[in-house]
Amino acid sequence: MSVERSAIERFLYREAHLMDNHRYADWFALWAEEGPLTYWVPCNGDDLDPKANVSIIYDTRTQLRNRVARLNETLWLRERAPRLSRVVSNVEIEDQNADEITASSNFVLVQLHRHVQHLWAGSSVHKLISAPSGLRIRSKKVVLINNDEPLPNLMFLI
Amino acid sequence: MSVERSAIERFLYREAHLMDNHRYADWFALWAEEGPLTYWVPCNGDDLDPKANVSIIYDTRTQLRNRVARLNETLWLRERAPRLSRVVSNVEIEDQNADEITASSNFVLVQLHRHVQHLWAGSSVHKLISAPSGLRIRSKKVVLINNDEPLPNLMFLI
Amino acid sequence: MSVERSAIERFLYREAHLMDNHRYADWFALWAEEGPLTYWVPCNGDDLDPKANVSIIYDTRTQLRNRVARLNETLWLRERAPRLSRVVSNVEIEDQNADEITASSNFVLVQLHRHVQHLWAGSSVHKLISAPSGLRIRSKKVVLINNDEPLPNLMFLI
Amino acid sequence: MLSGRNDYRELVQDDRVSGRLYYDAAVFDEELEKIWYRDWIYVAHESEIPEPGDYVTRFIGLQPVIVSRDEDRNIHLLLNRCMHRGNTVCQSERGNAHAFRCAYHGWTYNNRGALVGVPYAAGYDGSFAREEYALARVPRSASYRGLIFGSMSASGPGLEQRLGNAARLIDQFIDLAPAGEVILRSGVLKHSFRGNWKMALENSVDGYHPNILHHAAMMLITKGRKVDMEAVFGEHTDALARDLGGGSAQLDLTPINRERGGRVVPHGWSAMAWEQYLDAMQRRWGVDRAREIIQVGGPHFCIFPNIIFILNQFRVIQPVSVEETVVYYYPTMLKGAPDEMNQRRLAETYLIHGPAGRVAPDDFEAYERNQEGFRARANEWLVLRRGLHRERRESAGTIAGHETDETTQRGIWRHYREVMQA
Amino acid sequence: MLSGRNDYRELVQDDRVSGRLYYDAAVFDEELEKIWYRDWIYVAHESEIPEPGDYVTRFIGLQPVIVSRDEDRNIHLLLNRCMHRGNTVCQSERGNAHAFRCAYHGWTYNNRGALVGVPYAAGYDGSFAREEYALARVPRSASYRGLIFGSMSASGPGLEQRLGNAARLIDQFIDLAPAGEVILRSGVLKHSFRGNWKMALENSVDGYHPNILHHAAMMLITKGRKVDMEAVFGEHTDALARDLGGGSAQLDLTPINRERGGRVVPHGWSAMAWEQYLDAMQRRWGVDRAREIIQVGGPHFCIFPNIIFILNQFRVIQPVSVEETVVYYYPTMLKGAPDEMNQRRLAETYLIHGPAGRVAPDDFEAYERNQEGFRARANEWLVLRRGLHRERRESAGTIAGHETDETTQRGIWRHYREVMQA
Amino acid sequence: MLSGRNDYRELVQDDRVSGRLYYDAAVFDEELEKIWYRDWIYVAHESEIPEPGDYVTRFIGLQPVIVSRDEDRNIHLLLNRCMHRGNTVCQSERGNAHAFRCAYHGWTYNNRGALVGVPYAAGYDGSFAREEYALARVPRSASYRGLIFGSMSASGPGLEQRLGNAARLIDQFIDLAPAGEVILRSGVLKHSFRGNWKMALENSVDGYHPNILHHAAMMLITKGRKVDMEAVFGEHTDALARDLGGGSAQLDLTPINRERGGRVVPHGWSAMAWEQYLDAMQRRWGVDRAREIIQVGGPHFCIFPNIIFILNQFRVIQPVSVEETVVYYYPTMLKGAPDEMNQRRLAETYLIHGPAGRVAPDDFEAYERNQEGFRARANEWLVLRRGLHRERRESAGTIAGHETDETTQRGIWRHYREVMQA
Ligand code: FES
Ligand code: FES
Ligand code: FES
Ligand SMILES: [Fe+3]
Ligand SMILES: [Fe+3]
Ligand SMILES: [Fe+3]
């Protein structure tokens, strides 16, 4: 299969839109329906083995579903959720084969919470498959520029 | 009519360039020459009815012309205008029909004024028509992430 | 010769990736192998003649090579180099002729150094040639939004 | 101790004041104590919370306050702080709630502030009296024509006494409504600047600057119309700058409005709307009084320390720190007036004020230049002597000067010195 | 002078404390002096620097410290400040180095702190004794079960004396390891909030909030399983809140763990891992003691002022300013336990804690709401009276209350008042 | 009161100083009072404002100053603060203006500072004397060889007396120009760091660090050329570190320059340019003196507290707060020298200095590490004893040490203690 960069961009923009608007369920629907999933935000560096080191996020399918449920249920988030707006850019197709596309991108995310603006920045690598319903995420890795710094609450999708 | 995303991007980049450089008249020339115009920056939320609630900006053609004139004439802006640089990304064509294209995009705008850097972020929805002279803006809505927060002067085009 | 905007984007994304990761030598390899080179970051404004005024950076080939060597050798940078992540956007082809492409772009660069996040923003103009090995930089000009303000160390590639 | 540090008789003189009053953090702390936590502070308008359960959150000085309306339509000013460990119990700036539940341990308060729910109650024995743990109240609150004021001081003069001459100007503002009420339910513009709050108060009744600082806006007003702004804000105006006493002050445009038939009739109105309005006003007030009200038009004045009435809007000053301030602009609708008129009032607010308005940004740029200028200490004085020679005391005890004069600022500062020196 | 300003007998009472203790910068400065630069402060665990040359950098209060292991495997607590002009000599938070070279003029120190290199030595004559220019040492340091503590005060009670009752809880935590040691080499989560450090300490032993504030996490735990969280953290729990003395406090889940056979055996374990673990434990401790250890499980407690033991993790509190704090979470591995078990411990840490965990963000949101609420000053008190009527003194001199009671907070504050009033 | 807090005899000793001097805000406030608002401060060079109406804006300490040249070519140092309410009257850092108009109410001042325009003048009666409202002047100003200094103190020693030994080094710097003048009209590099201003001053005459901290730059200099940097900044250099008195200090490279024939003749020059320059110099100075000047070359020194002369550049230190500082680098052109030479001077400035230069960033990283290190308080001292045993007093009353010695820093601190203790 062969996919254009612009198709990947459209997909990532769509994902960004859902994340910015806390549409947890719709975002979860962007993930592959079958097979193992990984949603990884490394900690203390960009590549420490998540089996041997803490991660900021390291979710398989079950944990990802739990994360979405947790965000959905949290009452205080309904009282005051962070406002988000992110630009996704530098989208590149790193690799593409029969059943998987690897795409990298950078983002700058501006968060407003409790009247304070906070800036998140980093890069992502998506492994995508092309399902009948369109592209789907098999794994996603987000490298935060400050993943070895103290972070405030990350109670949204990144 | 059918327009490519890349054409929309070129148009939005062009608009961003004119806004960053305070080229008020050239920017105004990007708007449709006939028919009603709307330039809307909602306040206290993203979608309150501008007829019943204050907006940060809610201009029709006359007011838009006045805004441009006001910016042009203001002496203190000539003494020291804000420096601007914005990235526009996540450009998506939301809708497209015979006479109108609806395009959404996100931006991060860095402003420097009086030695202080200030970050603006949000998303825009443009309604564009395709005139002989090229794409023209019929309406533009800018949703600021902090549109319910106290804002410093917004004495530039956004 | 005719080059698509998307090819320029790929090139600039690649360059951004190398700069973000301090891959000095690989970045230097993106420059044209022959002929004069200019790497210019103006100071006190966007266009003062670099022969008559200081620049933040104004390198010809030799000085560019020296810059790369200096960055490579500096011990304290190895102890603690700034972490970088930038989005490049608003890529436009300004001009294109037989032997040269002029491309402009905007960027927002988030830097983390000594636990402090710092935001760099501005626009770039690349003059590119198309070599057998692909696009190569003949000259690059970076206009920082704050090029007339006091700046912290700029000990990375921008 | 603080007052020991600052001698306000020295810093505030009759014809000049020291720049230090705008940048010294110790002065700001003392202002909190002697002004913001002692005086009557405007917090909200009743029409913002029309229904039982409606609330808004505001600040008195730096303290977070909930303004709520209970099921009996009574209004309560409650501190937004859980009585258990102090979490804020309300996170939103406006809404409708019959109870506020603290997220931390679930203590729940009704919109009267009463503690109505305590999880795992067995942890507290008989000695625990829930009444003692109702949300703290703002010690005093009172309303005038729907304007809600609060005072963090349990004692002091009553609201109407404190309002003094300003009360009839509030009447003048609100009597423009055929139903005798204004409605604030059209949102709020929030505008911030890096500078001291007092600059925004002084500026609101500074009749000297408009034609100069706001030249671009004036250009738009006059463009292609024969309005002589010099006859409004300039040398040959008949308008007055008035010290109302108690730190309140006014720019009185009545003389001009009379000629023009009143600001409330902007050009370009539909005749029908005009008829409707006139008719409604006459039915309420009778022909003569209605004409009088309309001709005199809306007043332009400020009430010390934090509320300003200009054009169609309430403007509220919120100090954040000694050099950070937020100004809120609330458009006001006239109850009983035609929609066309009220929409016009709404539009005037956002077109002219707020961060992207036609006028306000000029003032905010001036405030920030002012704060920068205060860094120069070789000469610390701000001069307030303009018009000292031509102002006159009026029967009401007020003082009137030429519209461009600093009579208004002098009034503000005389009051300031009095309360700060106390 | 500072202590002159604050009377801690007034600010800290038996059943309530003042909000001022959380926002007054003068209180924070005094805490640095009387707590952070006087008490024993946890800095690191020996297993973080297993090899000669290994080091980590930490802070004691606000002072940067290098924790290094020398070639003889001895551990040193050195101030990260060049003795020449004061540059930091170590830039990394962890690594292996036999020497630290200052970038400015090249003075070089070995990992014992000794000054071993001075460029252009002729600039110093015989009167220059290198011994006088070794990196400054933290005046006192000591370890307990591998936990390294440092004190900036040259005198005071010894570590074990200071630990008091907490010592046996450290044992309880570590004895779960078949090899009798925990290993901290799985990284650290760093989580910051805009609020005062004491909130994180109090919260760690606050048994009142979990079911309420963490309702979403509880929903996930109980979903499709018959666990009654009310019987763990709620009204009908058998667990206890315990004041251990010296500002240390515990939530004692032993009664529950006994029934459940101990927290250390989460459901869904492979039988094999369980067998392996049981076997290893019995070989070390004998059958009965092993069963006892496993049934009692891991303790949940804090040691004043900066270390907390919860589930499988060490949690460390780092004050940054009066209203900025960082919390570090270190997952701990049980030496000699099966990998499956340790991987589970690792996962539990990042799934539950840190900025994106299932539980911790709730607490951090509460801290920030708390700091906001403290801006309301009409009533400054935080109430700590929960369970005052039902707590009892135990033989060990400890005080035990119902799991949901504030016995723990009272213990923390009693100690705080004592040291701050000193 | 402040001086009561700090005993500078204690904090500044002959062979060491306390880190507190770099981070204590009270020390910084006292420095403003006793140094920045009392001493002669360099503000600009006459060649920056060559034409009538030219101006630049600068700061003396934290106070904004306009340096303007009037129609009679006289130079004025004016505070940038409107005499009415205090707005800044000039917004740009450089330009040409015959008048400064305040945006707020339009008061207008000419470039001598005189109040020449007041809108709506009728508001002021005869008692209003415009002369009293001229822009405030910096109490004293004076020039030496085109360098403009200002003092916020009306009394004190004259400029030349204050310059003392530094005066002849300014001559040495400027005499390299065949026309006997330097020209600063090539812009300015602005470089900031989070650290105390004194570090930048001390560093400018610190001959100990270059080969170590700047090793990468040295590598580029020596690469493929036989220059022995050890013979310039190292152990076996013949250069000297000199305390000039009054807090001024020098690194005297004369001995080296003599051998090399003077720094002003970098290798790789065109013979023609060299001829031209030599010829021009000889015409002005005569053969012997010209050779002398060229051989000795440009001096490397600092004048307390804020100007430094290195290579071809003026370097100016601007304090922002106790731990924020900006350094400005102004390339200087030699009037009457060939363009090739001046372009070389320009290039040397931006290639070596500023935020992206080959050398300066090393120092700035060191400053920030230093400020970090100051957070360690167990030992507060910075050691200044290097070379105490081998320095010697010279006839001029100056003190000379080995180039790598801290003779220079000791000189700076002796003066500092004297003025701060006063
Ligand atoms: S803080 Fe509000 S219930 Fe505990
Ligand atoms: S500061 Fe460390 S060697 Fe000089
Ligand atoms: S402040 Fe300058 S004219 Fe009024
Ligand atoms: Fe105004
Ligand atoms: Fe909790
Ligand atoms: Fe240096």
What is the ipTM metric for this complex? Answer: 0.96
Residue F366 distance to chain D (closest CA, Å): 30
pLDDT, position E268: 64
Per-window interface: F 63-102 vs D, CB < 8 A: 63-65, 79-89, 91
Chains A and F in direct contact, meaning 3 or more beta-carbon pairs closer than 8 angstroms = no
- List the residue whose alpha carbon is closest to atom 3 of ligand 3: F105
The answer to whether the CB atoms of F91 and B76 lie below 8 A apart is yes
pLDDT, position E46: 98
- Dump strand ranges (E) for D46-160: 54-60, 63-69, 75-79, 94-96, 99-101, 108-110, 115-117, 140-144, 147-151
Top residue of B9, B89, B111, B118 to mutate, by most chain A CBs within 10 Å, is: B89
Place of tokens 């050398």: F359
Q: Using CB atoms within 10 Å of the CB of residue E103, give its burial: 0 to 12 exposed, 13 to 18 middle, 19+ buried.
A: buried
Q: How far is the CA of D356 from the centre of ligand 4 (A)?
A: 14
CA distances from A63 to A26, A59, A124 (A): 17, 5, 20
pLDDT tens-digit series, residues E105-152: 999 999 999 999 999 999 999 999 999 999 999 999 999 999 999 999
C154 shares contact with chain F (CB less than 8 Å): yes
- List the residue whose alpha carbon is closest to atom 4 of ligand 1: D105
The atom number, within ligand 3, closest to the CA of F105 reads: 3
Sign of the dihedral through C-alpha C62, C64, C70, C73: negative
Q: Pseudo-torsion of CA C6, C9, C14, C17, nearest 10°?
A: -140
The answer to whether the CB atoms of D104 and E372 lie below 8 A apart is no
Number of H helices, E strands in chain B: 4, 6
- Residue F69's nearest CA partner among F26, F108, F30, F112 is F112
E91 shares contact with chain C (CB less than 8 Å): yes
What end-to-end distance do the CA atoms of chain E give, in Å? 13
Mean pLDDT of A48-54: 97
- Cβ-Cβ pairs closer than 8 A, E with F, add up to 90
Statement: residue D11 has pLDDT above 90: yes
Chain D residues whose CB is inside 8 A of the E374 CB are 81, 86
Distance CA E254, CA E267 (A): 18
Chain F residues whose CB is inside 8 A of the C67 CB are 356, 358
pLDDT tens-digit series, residues F74-100: 999 999 999 999 999 999 999 999 999
- Residue F87's nearest CA partner among C44, D328, D212, B73 is D212
| Residue ranges with CB less than 5 Å from ion ligand 5 | E 363
Strand A116-131 vs strand A100-113: parallel, antiparallel, or unpaired? antiparallel
For a pLDDT cut of 70, what percent of chain E falls above it? 96
pLDDT, position E265: 52
The atom number, within ligand 3, closest to the CA of D366 reads: 1
Statement: residue B31 has pLDDT above 80: yes
Tell which CATH classification among 3.40.50.920, 3.90.380.10, 3.40.50.300, 3.40.50.150 matches the domain E186-421.
3.90.380.10
The answer to whether the CB atoms of A108 and C87 lie below 8 A apart is yes
The atom number, within ligand 1, closest to the CA of E366 reads: 1
Across the interface, of A69, A70, A152, the residue whose CB is closest to E355 is: A152
Mean pLDDT of B36-51: 97
Statement: residue D390 has pLDDT above 70: yes
User: pLDDT tens digits for chain F (422 residues)?
Assistant: 334 578 999 999 999 999 999 999 999 999 999 999 999 999 999 999 999 999 999 999 999 999 999 999 999 999 999 999 999 999 999 999 999 999 999 999 999 999 999 999 999 999 999 999 999 999 999 999 999 999 999 999 999 999 999 999 999 999 999 999 999 999 999 999 999 999 999 999 999 999 999 999 999 988 877 778 888 888 889 999 999 999 999 999 998 887 765 544 556 678 889 899 999 999 999 999 999 999 999 999 999 999 999 989 999 999 999 999 999 999 999 999 999 999 999 999 999 999 999 999 999 999 999 999 999 999 999 999 999 999 999 999 999 999 999 999 999 999 999 999 98
Distance CA F179, CA F337 (A): 8
SS3 label, residue F421? helix
Average model confidence (pLDDT) across chain B: 96
Low-confidence ranges of chain C (pLDDT < 70): 1
Mean pLDDT of D222-227: 76
Distance CA C94, CA C141 (A): 14
Both tokens of residue D98? Answer: 């019959």
CA distances from D82 to D135, D339, E380 (A): 7, 42, 11
pLDDT, position B53: 97
Residue F79 distance to chain D (closest CA, Å): 6
User: Do residues E164 and E246 touch, judged by C-beta distance below 8 A?
Assistant: yes
Chain C residues whose CB is inside 8 A of the F344 CB are none
pLDDT band at residue E2 under the 50/70/90 scheme: very low
Q: Which residues is E393 bridged to in the sheet?
A: E399
Average model confidence (pLDDT) across chain A: 96
Residue C111 distance to chain A (closest CA, Å): 8
Please give the residue of chain B at the shortest CA–CA distance from C146.
B112
Mean pLDDT of E162-183: 97
pLDDT, position F422: 87
For a pLDDT cut of 90, what percent of chain E falls above it? 89
pLDDT, position A52: 97
pLDDT tens-digit series, residues D331-384: 999 999 999 999 999 999 999 999 999 999 999 999 999 999 999 999 999 999
Q: Which chains would you list as touching D if contact means 3+ CB atom pairs under 8 Å?
A: A, B, E, F
Mean pLDDT of B94-115: 96
Q: Does any ligand 3 atom lie closer than 6 A to the CB of residue F105?
A: yes
User: Do residues B102 and B127 touch, judged by C-beta distance below 8 A?
Assistant: yes
> Do the domains spanning E41-151 and E186-421 agree at the CATH topology level?
no
Distance CA A103, CA D39 (A): 62
Residue E88 distance to chain C (closest CA, Å): 12
* Homologous superfamily, domain E41-151: Rieske [2Fe-2S] iron-sulphur domain (2.102.10.10)
| Site residues for ligand 2, CB cut-off 6 Å | E 82, 84-85, 87, 102, 104-107
Per-window interface: B 40-79 vs F, CB < 8 A: 75-76, 79
Distance CA E263, CA E266 (A): 6
- List the residue whose alpha carbon is closest to atom 4 of ligand 3: F105
pLDDT, position F235: 86
Sign of the dihedral through C-alpha D206, D210, D213, D214: positive
Residue D69 distance to chain F (closest CA, Å): 43
Across the interface, of F366, F372, F404, the residue whose CB is closest to E123 is: F404
Angle at F257 between CA F256 and CA F260, to 5 degrees: 90
Statement: residue B154 has pLDDT above 50: yes
Type of residue found at D358: R
Please give the residue of chain C at the shortest CA–CA distance from B9.
C90
Mean pLDDT of E294-322: 96
Residue E92 distance to chain F (closest CA, Å): 12
Domain ranges of chain F: 41-151, 186-421
Statement: residue E263 has pLDDT above 50: no
Across the interface, of B5, B87, B145, the residue whose CB is closest to A89 is: B87
Q: List residues in chain C touching A: CB distance below 8 A.
A: 6, 10, 13-14, 16-17, 20, 83-89, 108, 110, 112, 115, 117, 119
Would you say how long chain C is, in residues?
158
The answer to whether the CB atoms of B149 and A112 lie below 8 A apart is yes
Statement: residue E22 has pLDDT above 80: yes
Sign of the dihedral through C-alpha F333, F337, F343, F348: negative
The answer to whether the CB atoms of B70 and D355 lie below 8 A apart is no
- List the residue whose alpha carbon is closest to atom 3 of ligand 2: E105
